[in-house]
């Protein structure tokens, strides 16, 4: 019952917050576009604060030393939850998500995603989409952005396995930038399309960088890193650091 009450409260307050901040973003979209990313980071921080304090979730980040304080990066994260699309707004200075092109058409949210410098890709475009992805990746790397991509291509349940999309390997080979693999158990607390949010310790485990290599070897090593770092979820009984507060 407590989980239900917490979930109802979180869902109502977070949706209301998103609507209000989306409406308040119109002046930024029209006149102050340079403030789009800081404003989006403020929204992400507020939603995650609600998630932590209403739902009783402790967020523990392990391995953040594997990401440079600044500079270009390719981050290949597991994707189990909406949480994964928020947390990187706070962990790196210049986040740039590879996202589905249709997200641009979401009222209020979509235009802000474009202004913040995200990378919308129309996946149905096939080879053309890959060429565009590589072009946008090169631009983002030159601008020293931290690119976040979810190689599974969609949210998955904890323990579920989906073949990785080849885009991340192509990005690494094209730019010669190492890939930083990230494992998480966020789906246990904020599942895909799940109304109930559960309390506990949510882990984000950042692995050591993988140097660019042929596609199959790269994808295999990302999966191996995810599997190895996921062992931390069962070994660690106490959080090491809470980087979201």
pLDDT tens per residue across span 15-44: 999 999 999 999 998 988 899 999 999 999
Report pLDDT for 116. 86
Per-residue pLDDT at 62 exceeds 90: yes
The mean per-residue pLDDT over the stretch 183-195 comes to 90
Mean pLDDT of 142-146: 95
Give yes or no for a contact between 39 and 24, defined as CB atoms under 8 angstroms apart.
no
Written as six digits, the tokens of 212 are 């660019």
When pLDDT is cut at 50, 70 and 90, the band that residue 125 belongs to is: low
Which residue has tokens 């917490």? 6
Average pLDDT, the chain: 89
Q: Cα separation of 12 and 7, whole Å?
A: 8
d(CA 114, CA 111): 5
The percentage of residues in the chain with a pLDDT greater than 90, rounded to a whole number, is: 69
* pLDDT for res 121: 81
In degrees and rounded to multiples of 5, residue 143 shows phi and psi of -85, 5
Region 2-235: CATH code: 3.40.1130
Which alpha helices (H) appear in 108-155, and where do they start and end?
109-115, 127-142
What pTM does this model have?
0.89
Residue 1, judged by CB atoms within 10 A of its CB (0-12, 13-18, 19+), counts as: exposed
Residues 221-245: tens digit of each pLDDT: 999 999 999 998 866 544 434 444 4
């Amino acid at each position: 019952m407590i989980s239900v009450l917490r979930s109802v409260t979180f869902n109502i307050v977070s949706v209301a917050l998103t609507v209000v901040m989306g409406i308040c973003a119109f002046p930024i979209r029209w006149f102050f576009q340079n403030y789009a990313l800081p404003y989006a980071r403020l929204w992400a921080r507020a939603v995650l604060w609600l998630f932590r304090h209403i739902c009783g979730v402790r967020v523990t980040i392990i391995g953040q030393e594997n990401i440079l304080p600044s500079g270009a990066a390719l981050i290949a994260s597991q994707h189990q939850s909406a949480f994964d699309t928020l947390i990187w707004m706070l962990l790196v200075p210049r986040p740039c998500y590879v996202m589905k092109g249709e997200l641009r058409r979401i009222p209020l949210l979509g235009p802000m995603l474009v202004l913040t410098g995200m990378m919308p890709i129309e996946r149905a475009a096939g080879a053309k989409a890959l060429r565009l992805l590589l072009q946008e990746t090169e631009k983002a790397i030159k601008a020293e952005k931290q690119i976040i991509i979810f190689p599974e291509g969609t949210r998955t349940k904890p323990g579920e396995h989906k073949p990785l999309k080849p885009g991340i390997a192509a990005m690494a080979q094209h730019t010669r930038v190492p890939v930083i693999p990230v494992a998480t158990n966020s789906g246990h607390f904020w599942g895909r399309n799940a109304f109930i949010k559960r309390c506990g310790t949510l882990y984000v485990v950042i692995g050591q960088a993988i140097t660019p290599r042929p596609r199959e070897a790269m994808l295999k090593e990302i999966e191996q890193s995810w599997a190895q770092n996921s062992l931390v979820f069962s070994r660690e009984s106490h959080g090491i650091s809470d980087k979201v507060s």
